[in-house]
Amino acid sequence: MIVTLSGKLAAADETSIVLEVNGVGIQVLVTQAVFRAMPSIGQMMRVFTHLHVREDALVLYGFMSEEERRLFQHMIGVSGIGPRTAVGILSAIPAADFVRAIQQEQIGVLTSLPGIGKKTAERLILELRDKLGDGPWSDTTGGDVPSMPGGALRDAVEALTVLGFSAREAELMVQGAYAQLGDDSDVQALIKLALATNIAQKGERAWRRNG
């Protein structure tokens, strides 16, 4: 089983990225969380992965965190939820909000998600309510930013929210910057790289749409 993949970002479109690993380009279908933390083309990045085996293909799915991948794996164990539907759900709602909707039986929230009707929502609640009770997503709405001496990561997140980004967007941007800079990074370096990466991503997406 391929559980993580690290390589140079070679390409990206609306649903997938291509990582170049030892000279081989590997396509990975990813969630929006991965896109939001994606570095510029040519930069190194790492994703958590799940290899889905079909009769006609092997499809690799990529996630921002191990927790996101675990939730995906729970979802595809439910009858009627395929991998693409699960990725669509994770791209449309934060993991903690999805878990909360399951635990509190919020049918309206679940049926607003792509590919989910009332019967499927009821099935999700029935099959996942007990499984998701003790997960790391239980007490957070956006996922944890790694801790760091001096609270540099949290300070960087707060600075980005002041600039107008949502808390979730800011966390993902800082996570991506931290993944490139490592433990020696400070607040200013994190903010600078996070903003630069965000601008580069917007430019690349605009280029792909217009090209």
25-70 pLDDT, tens digit each: 999 999 988 988 888 899 999 999 999 988 788 899 999 888 889 9
Domain 149-210, CATH 1.10.1060.10 — does that match?
no
* Superfamily holding 72-128: 5' to 3' exonuclease, C-terminal subdomain (1.10.150.20)
Kindly tell me if the per-residue pLDDT of 141 is higher than 50.
no
* CATH class held by domain 4-63: mainly beta
Contact at 8 Å (CB) between 197 and 40?
yes
Residues of the chain with CATH 1.10.150.20: 72-128
Q: What is the DSSP letter of 7?
A: E
Q: Mean per-residue pLDDT for 103-131?
A: 91
Tell me, what's the pLDDT at 18?
96
Long-range CB contact pairs, 98-104, < 8 A, 24+: 98/71, 99/71, 99/132, 99/135, 99/137, 99/138, 102/128, 102/129, 102/132, 103/129, 103/132, 103/133
Q: How far apart are CA 34 and CA 27, in angstroms?
A: 14
Q: Mean per-residue pLDDT for 125-136?
A: 80
pLDDT tens by residue, 164-180: 887 777 877 887 787 77
Is this structure's pTM higher than 0.75? no
Q: What is the dihedral of CA 92, 97, 101, 107, to 10 degrees?
A: -30
Tell me, what amino acid is at 59? V
Residues of the chain with CATH 1.10.8.10: 149-210
Residues of the chain with CATH 2.40.50.140: 4-63
How many alpha carbons fall within 13 Å on the CB side of residue 171?
Answer: 15
* Higher-scoring residue by pLDDT: 55, 191: 191
